[in-house]
Structure 1
Amino acid sequence: MKIDLTETTASKVNKALVEGRRAVGTPAVGMVLTLVIVTDEENAYDALKAANEASREHPSRTLVVVKRVSRSPRDRATARLDAEIRVGTDAGSGETVVLRMYGEVLHHAQSVVLPLLLPDAPVVVWWPVNAPLDPAKDPLGALGQRRVTDSYAAEQPIAELTGRAAAYTPGDTDLSWSRITPWRSMLAAALDQVPSRVKGAEVEGEEFNPSCELLAMWLADRLDVPVTRSVSSGPGLTAVRMQTDHGEIVLDRPDGSLATLCMEGQPDRAVALKRRETSELLAEELRRLDPDDTYAASLKYGVDRLVTPAPKQAGNGSAAGSDETADEPGKAAPAGKKAPAKKAASK
Structure 2
Amino acid sequence: MIIELNDTSTKEIAAELLRARQSVGGTGGMVHTLIVVAEDHNSADVFEAAQASARVHPSRVIVVVYSDSGDPHLDAEIQVGEGTPGDLLALRIHGSEIREHAGSVILPLLLPDSPTIVWWPHEAPENPANDPVGALGDRRITDAAGSENPKVALTTRARNHTPGDTDLAWTRLTRWRALLAASLDQYPHTVTGAVVKAAHDNAPAMLLAAWLEDRLDVEARMEVHERPGVSEVRLETADGDIVINRGNSDAIALYNVPGQPERKVALKRRPLTELLTEELQRMDADDIFEAAVGRVLVKVGP
Same fold (TM over 0.5): yes
> Is 1:224 paired with 2:253?
no
Instruction: Give aligned-pair identity as a percent.
Output: 46
- After superposition, where does 1:201-280 map in structure 2 within 5 Å? 201-254=194-247, 255-280=249-274
> Is 1:83 paired with 2:83?
no
Query: Which one-letter code corresponds to 2:196 in the other structure?
Result: V
Partner SS state of residue 238, structure 1: strand
Q: Deviations over 1:66-125 (max 9, x none)?
A: 11102xxxx4xx43111000112453x211000011232222111110000000010000
Gaps of 5+ in 2: none
Query: Could you say which residue in structure 1 is the equivalent of 2:111?
Result: 118
Contact 2:214 2:292 in 1 (8 A): yes
TM-score of the superposition, structure 2-length normalised? Answer: 0.95
Query: Which one-letter code corresponds to 1:288 in the other structure?
Result: R
Larger radius of gyration: 1
- After superposition, where does 1:96-245 map in structure 2 within 5 Å? 96-103=88-95, 104-245=97-238
User: 1:180–1:89: structure 2 CA closer, same or farther, 3 Å change rule?
Assistant: farther
Root mean square deviation, CA, Å: 1.6
Partner SS state of residue 56, structure 1: helix
Between Structure 1 and Structure 2, the one with more strand by share is: 2
Contact 2:195 2:223 in 1 (8 A): yes
Partner SS state of residue 267, structure 1: coil
Query: Which one-letter code corresponds to 1:16 in the other structure?
Result: E
Q: Deviations over 1:46-69 (max 9, x none)?
A: 111101111122111011111110
User: 1:128–1:270: structure 2 CA closer, same or farther, 3 Å change rule?
Assistant: same
Contact 2:233 2:245 in 1 (8 A): yes
Query: Could you say which residue in structure 2 is the equivalent of 1:55?
Result: 54
Cα distance, 1:156 vs structure 2: 1.5
Gaps of 5+ in 1: 306-331, 336-347
Contact 2:100 2:132 in 1 (8 A): no
Distance 1:300 1:240 in 2: 21
Contact 2:158 2:297 in 1 (8 A): no
Partner SS state of residue 65, structure 1: strand
Distance 1:108 1:90 in 2: 32
Query: Could you say which residue in structure 1 is the equivalent of 2:8?
Result: 8
Runs of 4+ more than 6 Å apart? none
Distance 2:124 2:172 in 1: 18
Cα distance, 1:21 vs structure 2: 2.7
Query: Could you say which residue in structure 1 is the equivalent of 2:45?
Result: 46
Match among 272, 284, 287 for residue 281 of structure 2: 287
Distance 1:16 1:51 in 2: 22
Equivalenced residue count is 300
